[in-house]
Amino acid sequence: MRSVMFQANIHQAKTNLSQLIQRAEAGEIVIIAKAGKPCVQLIGIEKPARNAGRLKKFSHMENTDISRILEDDNETAALFFEESAL
How far is 22 from 25, CA to CA, in rounded Å? 5
Q: pLDDT tens, 46-62?
A: 887 777 677 677 666 66
User: Quick one: which H or E segment has residue 20?
Assistant: helix 17-25
Q: Residues of the chain with pLDDT > 90: what percent?
A: 42
Angle between helix axes 63-70 and 74-81 (nearest 10 degrees) is 150
Q: Is the whole model's pTM more than 0.85, yes or no?
A: no
The per-residue pLDDT for range 27-50, each reduced to its tens digit, is 999 999 999 999 999 999 888 777
pLDDT at 2 over 70: no
Considering the domain 3-42, what is its CATH architecture? 3-Layer(aba) Sandwich (3.40)
Domain residue spans of the chain: 3-42, 52-86
Query: Measured in whole angstroms, how far is the alpha carbon of residue 10 from the centre of its chain?
Result: 25
